[in-house]
Structure 1
Amino acid sequence: MSEDVFEQKDRFFGVGRFDDPYPKLAELQKKCPVHEGSLSGLFGTVGAENTIFPEESYVTVTAFDEVDRILKSPKVFSSSWYHPSMGEIVGRSILEMDPPEHRRFRALLQVAFSKSAVEGWEEAFIRSILNRAVDRFAGRGHADLSQDFAFLYPIEVTATAAGLPVDDLDEFYRFTAVLTNVAVPAEDRLRASRGLGEMVQRLIDERRKDPREDLISVLVQARLTDEEAAEAEIGDGKRTLSDEEIVTFVRLLVPAGAQTTYRAMTNLLYGLLTHPGQLDALRADRSLIPQAVEEGIRWEVPLTYSGRTVTTGTEVCGRPVDAGSQVQVLLGAVNRDPQRWPDAEKFDIFRPPQRHLGFGTGVHVCLGINLARSELKCALEVLLDRLPDIRLDPDADPPSITGLGMRTAARLPVVFTPS
């Protein structure tokens, strides 16, 4: 699979260009919890958020409690911020919806990602996909865990969960990488959107006639109960998902799921490989893996910000903000808020558990949170089972996590005893 389209997206979000934004973010955080301009603007560059709304319309927030409040206040801080970049290409998705519209979609979609459903996927295909990924390099004694492992398995998990044929993986991933990349010309993104829509529509038609155990089948059959319909304030005509609504959701699923999991996995592996004592602790006690996953997401969140549009005049950290302003909440910064985490810049899987915002919060808390946690947990278990003495390659250039809007360890050279 050619990675040009992914490399282009990475560069646009600062991967390979910004080594460590956190010292500067800590200075900004210490000086004031809210700043004029966008994250990219504060670093003297133009980022994805600046292609959506002009730089001067932004305020940027770095304090945990205020970001937590903003994400839990959809009436004032609207997710319609996503519409200019996603709505016309992907379709009207749950990402840009506010209540009460959001409640209907959330209720219809979340059944597909329940904890019990994901646990079933672990045994049905997640572990076998991970083992096949390791099979490709286990006999060599060396690998790049970023490109040989973390980049590949999440897309296969997502496509298998959806019910897509494995033969379509390359095309499926390329379509989604293009249509969500705001650096790509609009006509190319629309072409990719149509191509993916046709692929998914064929699957919907098949599953309406012959349902199976996959995600598309669940969504085709999903129907709100009387209680859910009343809570979502809808009538009988909206109790199910239309074909176009399912297509739109799948268009969003891969960039929101597979690509984010890839970045989260590289960052978690980097944290463990550069802290061998903590990796040894996981080898000795697998029950530590869930807390290692949470620390990895807190310490190096894969997507460093989210955005909201202000619907009515309000205040942010006591500062007046006009309706129509854009608020950028820095998830990476708030996950290292020193008021909440001592030595917040350090990777430490033994921290006392404390809620972070790596998966968001409020009505838009990550829909696939159970799947993401499962994929990261199972990946660590499989790697430790198959490659018990895995370690950084001492003869390779040291890896690093880079990026501004997204954070990724694009290289993770390791060695191990061949198996």
Structure 2
Amino acid sequence: MTETQALDRERIRELFDLRSSYNQRMGGDFTADPYPVWHELRESGPVHEGTVHELTGYPGSAIFQGLPEPDRPHYSAFGHAALDAAYRNPEVFASSPDEVDPTGRTDVSNSMLSMAGDQHRRYRALVQPSFVPAKARWWITNWIERTVQELIDGFVADGRAELNVDFCAAIPLLTITGGFGMPPEQALEVRESLHDPMKIVQMLQPIVAARREAPRDDLISVLVEAELKEEDGGTHRLSDAEIYSFALLLLLAGSGTTWKQMGITITALLQRPELLQRVKEDRSLLRPATEEALRWMPTDPMFSRYVTRDVDFHGTRLPAGAVLHLCLGAANRDPSRWERPDEYDVTRTMRASFAFGGGPHICLGMHVARAEIATGIGALLDRLPGLRLDPAAEPPRFIGMYERGVTEIPVLFGQ
């Protein structure tokens, strides 16, 4: 048994079940379909006062990027044109209410996620080369392919599996922690510690120190050796604090989104057996199947921006200091951009959606996420003949408010 196969399945279930206490604060207990309400909101106006979860009818106090911020006025945008305008104007719609000091405290909020302007461009340029499409093969060869194959090895002889726990959850987590040089047995501890950044820093400290002494072919070495260009033309190597904030951001993004999107894509295909068979026979369909799932049901359907000055925005006056919540899920089904937007249709002409956000903060890891999904689903189709939903088990359901995914994905395979 490999280290990957030896991961504690019950612990995975707890950490990666949207209904668990670990994930409930993002609205993991929301089980209704939000899209009908989002359609009504979008049709009645592109911008509304209030938060997305309040306007949707979720009774809890969900926390996410830009929330809760109880002392600020809140507005939510639902139309594609409104989101496009906000993403194209980062000076008015900022990713953070405050300036970022990357040499200060170690936290995701002190990373490039919250940076703006030239500072954001300079920091993003340090790691961008490791996440471009041409670099996907580096990720696949070093981490993704081995993880995918070892996970399938663990259940291929059983004739059945629960793909969320047995497969989807571990792939992105092991990819990003592997990219940091962490052993598989430490991966779940990392996931569990995302709410306690200093625990992760303690795990990273010996790795960063070792890479400063002897760099390897991994992501921490990229950060250790990177030279940041200063505004005055000079350069400096990243401090430990800067590396830790970078790493926390990449861990949070890398382990917290792709597993859900992979599960959504797999479920959409399993619910359509004829389409699944077509994708198996013609792998060129795997890319449009993935892109359509990203449009149709993005796993993180909302991100927020802070309004830096009073502005009239799509018919609504937004005051300086307000938070504007961008409902990607609603915008991705705007009929002004897509015909029959509620249908999952892999034959539609692909058009860019907001599944990975937009503007200068568009998701850094989107090409790695696509590589993980394509490698994972491709391997399932290669190695599990007759892959199908288990008719005797409860079928998977799409749940969650600010983090959407599926419940269990019980499958059978073999002749």
Per the normalisation by structure 1, the TM-score is: 0.90
| 1:221 has 2:222 as partner | no
Shift, 1:88, TM fit: 7.2
Residue 150 of structure 2 corresponds to which residue in structure 1?
A: 132
Change (3 A) 1:91 1:360: closer
**What secondary structure sits across from 1:104 in the alignment?**
helix
Change (3 A) 1:81 1:338: farther
Shift, 1:284, TM fit: 0.9
Mapping of residues 34-53 of structure 1, within 5 Å: 34-42=47-55, 43-45=57-59, 46-49=61-64, 51-53=67-69
Residue 271 of structure 2 corresponds to which residue in structure 1?
A: 274
**What secondary structure sits across from 1:138 in the alignment?**
coil
| 1:122 has 2:146 as partner | no
Query: Is contact 1:154–1:258 with CA below 8 Å preserved after alignment?
Result: yes
| 1:165 has 2:180 as partner | no
Residue 233 of structure 1 corresponds to which residue in structure 2?
A: 231
Shift, 1:253, TM fit: 1.4
Query: Is contact 2:333–2:341 with CA below 8 Å preserved after alignment?
Result: yes
Q: Deviations over 1:253-277 (max 9, x none)?
A: 1221121001101111111111112
CA distance in 2, matches of 1:95, 1:20: 29
| 1:325 has 2:325 as partner | no
CA distance in 2, matches of 1:5, 1:281: 33
Change (3 A) 1:81 1:137: farther
Residue 170 of structure 2 corresponds to which residue in structure 1?
A: 152
Instruction: Give 1:11's aligned amino acid.
Output: Q
Q: Match for 1:287 among 268, 280, 284?
A: 284
Shift, 1:354, TM fit: 0.5
Residue 187 of structure 1 corresponds to which residue in structure 2?
A: none
Change (3 A) 1:5 1:144: closer
The alignment's C-alpha RMSD in Å is 2.1
| 1:264 has 2:261 as partner | yes
How many equivalent residue pairs? 396
Q: Deviations over 1:2-46 (max 9, x none)?
A: 254552243222334232100111111111111110011111422
CA distance in 2, matches of 1:117, 1:241: 22
Mapping of residues 192-211 of structure 1, within 5 Å: 192-211=196-215
Change (3 A) 1:348 1:120: same
Residue 70 of structure 1 corresponds to which residue in structure 2?
A: 86
Flag the structure with higher helix content.
1
Shift, 1:246, TM fit: 1.1
Query: Is contact 1:222–1:241 with CA below 8 Å preserved after alignment?
Result: yes
| 1:359 has 2:356 as partner | yes
| 1:297 has 2:310 as partner | no
**What secondary structure sits across from 1:308 in the alignment?**
strand
| 1:381 has 2:388 as partner | no
**What secondary structure sits across from 2:193 in the alignment?**
helix
Shift, 1:404, TM fit: 1.2
**What secondary structure sits across from 2:148 in the alignment?**
helix
Change (3 A) 1:243 1:67: same
**What secondary structure sits across from 1:301 in the alignment?**
coil
Q: Quick one: percent identity of the two aligned structures?
A: 34
Q: Deviations over 1:331-379 (max 9, x none)?
A: 1110111111111111111111101010111100101111011001101
Query: Is contact 1:219–1:241 with CA below 8 Å preserved after alignment?
Result: yes
Per the normalisation by structure 2, the TM-score is: 0.90
Change (3 A) 1:301 1:77: same
Q: Which is further off, 297-306 or 39-48?
A: 39-48
Change (3 A) 1:414 1:334: same
Shift, 1:310, TM fit: 0.4
CA distance in 1, matches of 2:200, 2:189: 8
CA distance in 2, matches of 1:4, 1:123: 29
Query: Is contact 1:38–1:55 with CA below 8 Å preserved after alignment?
Result: no
Change (3 A) 1:88 1:248: closer
CA distance in 2, matches of 1:113, 1:153: 17
Q: Deviations over 1:106-149 (max 9, x none)?
A: 11121222323221221233111101111111111111111111
Instruction: Give 2:23's aligned amino acid.
Output: D
Instruction: Give 2:241's aligned amino acid.
Output: E
**What secondary structure sits across from 1:307 in the alignment?**
strand
Shift, 1:289, TM fit: 1.0
Q: Which is further off, 359-368 or 118-127?
A: 118-127
Change (3 A) 1:389 1:4: closer
Query: Is contact 2:148–2:379 with CA below 8 Å preserved after alignment?
Result: yes
Residue 339 of structure 1 corresponds to which residue in structure 2?
A: 336
**What secondary structure sits across from 1:211 in the alignment?**
coil
CA distance in 1, matches of 2:106, 2:148: 35
Shift, 1:82, TM fit: 9.1
Instruction: Give 1:211's aligned amino acid.
Output: P
Change (3 A) 1:66 1:295: same
